[in-house]
Each structure stands twice: as structure tokens, then as C-alpha cells.
Amino acid sequence: MTGPTLYAWLESPLGRLLAVGDEGSLVSLSIEGQRWSSGVGAEWRRADAPFSEIARQLGQYFAGERRDFDLPLRIAGSEFRRRVWEALRAIPFGETRSYGQLAQGVGRPGAARAVGLANGRNPFAIVVPCHRAIGADGALVGYGGGLERKRWLLEHERSLMSSWRGGSG
């Protein structure tokens, strides 16, 4: 990262979100208590202003006014993980894909478990929509923020899709 590591706590219907980055880009977004989240580092500095755009876009998403995020992300990870995360970003709002479908999409058929592991290490909760990945049988599985939050996100998106199709949004 360039400059000091900055962070801000953002309120959401899912609980507090921890945004981490610098003056120019977002490095991670996690739900408080999420598996694999490191929490706040001892050397980090709280600064709300650099995260005003993520806060604005998240507010729009939760209000049903935004489907996709347009944020400067600093994505770190293996080439395979980055491909999985890009595949997640390609899943349309309100839809889901199985881990097997994602494995096919990244050119690794039969690697559904590896896709699931990469999905679980996604550093950008909600923004890179790992909540849209499901089991082959349609079951909700494997969400670092908890399955109740995954269910909430999917229901939120589906309900908005229904209202948008109905012409009210």
C-alpha cells in the first residue's frame, strides 16, 4: 500500500463493516466478526474521509438503488484467486452460481473445492459478491460472514429484482 493503512467502520443492515485501505484504494471490506478478518491493526489510523465513496455506494446498494460497485480495489492474491474473484463480480445482481459453475468459468472444471476456498478468502465482502456462490444443489454454504447474512443479501437482491421487474424501480 502507499502511505499508512487507514480504516473506517461503516454501519450496515448486516452489522458494522470494516473498510481498510489508503488514500487511493480499498484493500478489504469485511463484516465485523467475519472469519478470516484480521480486525484493526495496531499501526492503522482511523480516517473516515477516504472511505466516503464506499460508504455512499454501500448505502445505495442497501437502499436498492445500486446493483454494482465502482470502486478502486487493490486486489492481492494468487492468479487463481483473482480469476475466481473476477468471476464472482460477473455474476449478475440477484442471481447465483454454483461453485462448479464458477470452476468451469475460470477454466478449472472439477476444481469446485478450490473455487470455494478462494471464494472464502475474498477480501471484499458484498463488493465482490461471494454471497452469490452456492452449492451444486442450491444450498447456501460457506459464507465467512455467516449463512444468515448470506441469506439476507440474496433475499435483498431477489426482492429488488422482483420489484424492478414489476416496474417500480
Give CA–CA dist 32/144, Å, rounded: 10
Mean pLDDT of the chain: 91
Residue among 18, 88, 125, 130 flagged as catalytic: 130
In the chain, what are the domain boundaries? 6-62, 79-165
> Mean pLDDT over residues 155-166, rounded?
82
Say yes or no to pLDDT of 143 above 50.
yes
The yes or no reply on domain 79-165 and CATH 1.10.490.20 is no
CATH architecture, domain defined by 6-62: 2-Layer Sandwich (3.30)
User: Does 102 qualify as catalytic in the annotation?
Assistant: no
Say yes or no to pLDDT of 168 above 50.
no
Check if the beta carbon of residue 103 is closer than 8 Å to that of residue 136: no
